[in-house]
Amino acid sequence: MHRASCIRVSPDEIILGNGSNELIDIAVRTFLAPGDDAVMAHPSFAIYSMAVQAAGGKAIQVPLRDYKHDLDAMLNAVTPKTKLLFIANPNNPTGTMNTKEEFDRLMRKIRDGILVVVDEAYYEYVTGTEYADSFKHFRGKKDILILRTFSKIYGLAGLRIGYGIAQQEIITEMKKVRAPFNINSVAQKAAIEALKDTVHLKKSRELNNRGKTY
């Protein structure tokens, strides 16, 4: 609930996971049936294709363009069986980001009934003003799931805690699939304290920005 209040969403619009990895798996098992497919970029976070294939689905991998997601090509790769479309923004492993204009165009054109999963594991490191505003589409009642994690800038990877934000109807369905007791109390307490530590957040951003010069 602390995270929900920080980002001004209802507790019913947020789901905690054993890292955002678990939330990717839950989203796939909730919304994709065997024989369905999911669209994603390549190379990108490997868990997307692994989760889809483990669920009996087909991972449609679209090559990057200039080291970032080619969102127009990803739209063209959608089939009648597509249930999910994954976007890592910024991308892992290339560190590139998609702009507001690119993302807004995809959200305007994508077919109803496809859940757009926006993995923002590295969003705290973004400095550009053109970064895509996923929350605008969440507020617009779109089929979108925004994933964030405490594993990167907060340094809590070993404790395994992440969260997803979506409309209540989407979160309700995901909670039916999520295993009970998936987040331990130590991880929850550490995450709450990490949110309060704005000094660490600022220092981590500054250190990362200095590293970009290399």
DSSP state string for 9-46: --GGGEEEESHHHHHHHHHHHHH--TT-EEEEEESS-T
Residues 6+ apart with CB under 8 A from 179: none
pLDDT 10s digits, 126-140:
988 899 999 999 999
Q: What average pLDDT score do residues 83-93 get?
A: 98
Q: In whole angstroms, what is the distance from residue 99 CA to residue 105 CA?
A: 10
pTM beyond 0.75, yes or no? yes
Q: What average pLDDT score do residues 185-205 get?
A: 95
For residues 190 and 156, the answer to whether their CB atoms sit within 8 Å is yes
Higher-confidence residue of 35 and 6: namely 35
Return the beta strands (E) in the chain as ranges. Answer: 14-17, 37-42, 58-63, 82-88, 115-119, 144-149, 162-165
Closest to 116 (Cα-Cα) out of 153, 151, 150, 164: 164
Closest to 98 (Cα-Cα) out of 66, 145, 62, 144: 66
Q: How confident is the model at residue 2 (pLDDT cuts 50, 70, 90)?
A: low
Average pLDDT of the residues of the chain? 95
Residue 119 has pLDDT above 80, yes or no: yes
Q: What are the structural domains of the chain?
A: 2-211 (3.40.640.10)
Residue 60 has pLDDT above 80, yes or no: yes
Q: Which residues pair with 144 in a beta bridge?
A: 116
For residues 28 and 57, the answer to whether their CB atoms sit within 8 Å is yes
Residue 156 CB neighbours (<10 A): 20
Q: In whole angstroms, what is the distance from residue 29 CA to residue 36 CA?
A: 11
Q: In whole angstroms, what is the distance from residue 95 CA to residue 175 CA?
A: 31
pLDDT 10s digits, 153-169:
999 999 999 999 999 99
Q: How confident is the model at residue 4 (pLDDT cuts 50, 70, 90)?
A: low
**CA angle centred on 16, ends 12 and 22, rounded to 5°:** 130
Q: In whole angstroms, what is the distance from residue 59 CA to residue 62 CA?
A: 10
Q: By percentage, how much of the chain surpasses pLDDT 90?
A: 91
Tell me the backbone φ, ψ of residue 119, rounded to 5 degrees.
Answer: -90, 105
Residue 139 CB neighbours (<10 A): 13
